[in-house]
Structure 1
């Protein structure tokens, strides 16, 4: 399967579709399912959980993490690539157990709402936010930063 050019990825994200974001063989050598968070649906979360088979993460800017008062998951990040996990989150209202696709979509919607406040979320939860470095992929060549950067280029909020 050929690698798509960046303008094609941007168009897909702007249209509310998922893309597979891959990195270099000498880095993590993996692909992540990426969707601009503005377009999240229970169906998209179900697809990610069923076919991605990993954690459902949410890329957020440092400013958004600070506004939502999301502290780092670990005080000392010892991961090889410095992936900046925050504490996991759940929507404070509108969810049941938090694990269903609908509940996880609702949590993402609560976190990325334009007027989101810390009281809109509780910890721990079933969504795992990742804090992007200021400056995006120019400062760190990670999927976290690429998700935020691509979402902005697609005309969406800097969340994926």
Structure 2
């Protein structure tokens, strides 16, 4: 069983939050841990994500990269749920994957996925700017949960709000380097952040800072 790092407080640490927000706003990754779904990973500004940082996210994750968007924005961009829902789901909803419509090769490269992410973050984007299905997964996010830590998708949308960035966050859950059939635990996430010189924030701490 993987050991979890104990969190002594969920009150936002102003210095830690400020550092994460500043790094995020320059296009650098932030490591989010302590998510309510038991995972955690890299979060990037979708509006600023570069090919290099997208490649970094792909390398250390399972390769599946998502973009958290407000649910209303997904409706505006005509991004339907990936699977039909038989009952209301208060949590994040995976939508049909997309590629940018133009300026790409196959859509799967880091450059192509970064282009699609920046497109999803653009307030000027319209449904016709994307082809479906593709290689980047939009995730519709509603209100944050009233209790408990938010999921990684919810944290990926809270971070741009805290940083004053467009409400679109690229995220990729990290895989355990020691046990690659499982996702990284909190201890591994914090070690990853330290070894890569990246800021790390707890998901609940981030939600409290909004």
Q: Quickly name the TM-score band, shorter chain normalised.
A: 0.7 to 0.9
Aligned to 2:119: 110
Aligned to 1:92: 101
Q: Structure 1: any 5+ residue segments left out of the alignment? A: none
2:24 to 13, 18, 23: 13
2:52 to 31, 43, 53: 43
Hey, what's the Cα distance between the residues in 1 that align with 2:57 and 2:80? 25
Secondary structure of the 1:124 match is strand
- The structure whose RCO (Cα within 8 Å, separation 6+) is larger is 2
Greater Rg by CA: 2
1:136 to 108, 133, 144: 144
The answer on whether the counterparts of 1:77 and 1:84 sit within 8 Å (CA) in structure 2 is no
List per-residue Cα deviations over 1:15-55 (Å, max 9, x = no partner). 3210111125xx43222110011111111111011112341
Secondary structure of the 2:72 match is helix
In the alignment, does 2:80 pair up with 1:71? yes
Cα gap change, 1:20 to 1:149, in 2 (>3 Å): same
Q: CA deviation at 1:152?
A: 1.6
Count residues in correspondence. Answer: 156
The RMSD of aligned alpha carbons is 2.6
